[in-house]
Amino acid sequence: MQAKVVSVRYDAGLGAFEARVDVERDGRSFRYPCRIAAQESAPRDWLDAALTRQALAMSDTPRLEAPAPRAGLLQHLSDAFARALHPRRALSNIPVRASDPRRPQARLH
């Protein structure tokens, strides 16, 4: 399977690139209209990769599942920091049931 980005143009009113991406599969060609919001000075290789990803997402071609990313050092540090700031939920002395006798009932006159 191959994908080829064709006829890229920038729409200044939308602030987006529009293109047609041809995906060849089993000797047949499928065309997908794609739009990516980006600045006009976006690098062409990044733009081609983003448009190709969008076309392949629209395609019904089965794809291999990407492996889940492993948690890195920054993720572990972030989790530890969050646990240090909020070690456990504090219990409240405020009753939450409306039928609790300690909770005053509203009286409408």
Q: Tens of pLDDT along 64-92?
A: 455 566 677 878 788 787 777 766 655 55
Query: What residues contact residue 61 under an 8 Å CB cut-off, 6+ apart?
Result: 1, 23, 25
pLDDT at residue 32 greater than cutoff 80 = yes
pLDDT band at 7 (very low <50, low <70, confident <90, very high): confident
- How far is Cα 10 from Cα 87, in angstroms, rounded to an integer? 50
pTM of the model: 0.54
pLDDT at 20: 94
